[in-house]
Amino acid sequence: MPRNMTGGSGHRSQRNSESNKTKQNNKIGDKMLDDLMDEADLDGAHIGRVMRRLGDGRMEIFYTEKETIEGKERPVDKLIQAPIRGGMRGRGKKDVWVDVGSLVLFEETGLGGMATHRILSVFTPAQIARYKSIVTDADPRLFLKGTATADTSDGIEFDTTEVDEEIDVDQI
């Protein structure tokens, strides 16, 4: 919808402008992408995908981290729980929405207990495209479209192949 430039009695003041929370969120994401471009040390900042909501402002986040195992550097999949930072809660959550499937920037807090990580920023589609161009070897599972599907299997698998011979239950 085009911006209302005429004003008048039906004009809604400041309706089409970005809020301070949105600007701050975009600024954090852009600064991190600039640091990635300059190959600076991110110092505990990671990019992950929200897998599910846990309530109370906490999210379950999937990300990959490179770890050195037996002298070789390998990517390791991790799932963590991270709360949303304070500016993105309350009134701020209307402007910066964190949902399942969102790509987020989060950091390690250095604290023990439950709050070992916290979500700093949510990436916009333009920032996601820029991240893909900067980090070409990023995990493609971060960019999957759609929502996360819950694994409903209970670990029991049945053999569905047809067997022609009869099995005598009394011999078992």
Poorest-pLDDT segment among 45-54, 102-111, 138-147? 138-147
Average predicted confidence (pLDDT) for the chain: 77
What pLDDT score was predicted for residue 16? 60
- Distance, CA of 144 to CA of 142 (rounded, Å): 6
| Strand pairing class (103-108; 45-55) | antiparallel
Query: With contact defined as beta carbons under 8 Å apart, do 105 and 95 qualify?
Result: no
Higher pLDDT, 79 or 23: 79
- Distance, CA of 81 to CA of 86 (rounded, Å): 16
Q: Which two tokens stand for residue 76?
A: 């390791």
Around Cβ 13, how many Cβ atoms within 10 Å? 7
The topology (CATH level 3) of 20-135 is OB fold (Dihydrolipoamide Acetyltransferase, E2P) (2.40.50)
Determine what percent of the chain is predicted with pLDDT higher than 70: 71
**DSSP letters for 29-97:** HHHHHHHHHTT---SSEEEEEEEEEEETTEEEEEEEEEEEETTEEEEEEEEEEEEBPGGGSGGGGGTS-
Average pLDDT of the segment spanning 105-111: 81
- Put the strands of the sheet holding 103-108 in their side by side order: 72-83, 58-69, 45-55, 103-108, 117-122
- Distance, CA of 89 to CA of 69 (rounded, Å): 38
In the chain, where are the structural domains located? 20-135
Query: Would you say the pTM of this structure is higher than 0.85?
Result: no
Determine what percent of the chain is predicted with pLDDT higher than 90: 1
Over residues 60-73, the pLDDT tens digits come to 999 888 888 888 88
